């Protein structure tokens, strides 16, 4: 077991527990938005480029919104739980890059650390 795998499993357990409509610490985002964001980041490198802003940001938002609208929440959580594709930068063996770069939606293991009560 790796730290990133443990954190991914804990995050998915919290996503399962809270459901798709729970608010997060990201103003205006629900847990559904967060799940779609994580799936996009790991599975859509074409769209992930706009996460930092700039001219691709609108495209990234459109793709994230489509993912959220077209994919059932439980499936998004399962995709996150299954981990990134092996041939992606997030699929590197023994890498904790995935959880470190996510901004820590589950940094302390407590629900309050990434969702609002």
Is residue 65 a part of any domain in this protein? yes
Is residue 20 a part of any domain in this protein? yes
Is residue 105 a part of any domain in this protein? no
Domain that holds residue 38: 3-92
Is residue 107 a part of any domain in this protein? no
Which whole-number Å values give the CA distances from 94 to 4, 5, 69, 89, in the listed order?
Answer: 8, 9, 33, 12
- Among residues 24, 116, 30, 12, the alpha carbon closest in space to that of 74 is found at 12
- Cβ atoms of 115 and 26 within 8 Å: the answer is no
Banded model confidence at residue 85, pLDDT cuts 50, 70, 90: confident
d(CA 95, CA 100): 9
Across the chain, mean pLDDT equals: 81
Is residue 101 a part of any domain in this protein? no
pLDDT of residue 36: 97
Q: 41-84: per-residue pLDDT in tens?
A: 999 988 888 888 888 999 999 999 999 999 999 999 999 999 88
Is residue 35 a part of any domain in this protein? yes
Banded model confidence at residue 103, pLDDT cuts 50, 70, 90: very low
pLDDT surpasses 70 at 116: no
Sign of the CA dihedral 97, 8, 70, 66?
negative
Is residue 113 a part of any domain in this protein? no
């Amino acid at each position: 077991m790796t730290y990133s795998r443990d954190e991914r499993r804990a995050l998915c357990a919290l996503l399962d527990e809270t459901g798709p409509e729970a608010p997060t610490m990201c103003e205006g985002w629900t847990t559904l938005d967060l799940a779609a964001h994580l799936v996009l980041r790991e599975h859509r490198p074409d769209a992930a480029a706009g996460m930092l802003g700039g001219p691709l940001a609108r495209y990234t938002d459109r793709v994230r919104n489509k993912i959220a609208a077209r994919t059932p929440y439980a499936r998004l959580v399962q995709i996150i739980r299954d981990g990134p594709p092996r041939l992606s930068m997030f699929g590197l063996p023994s890498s904790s890059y995935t959880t470190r770069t996510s901004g820590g939606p589950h940094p302390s293991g407590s629900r309050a650390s990434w969702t609002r009560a």
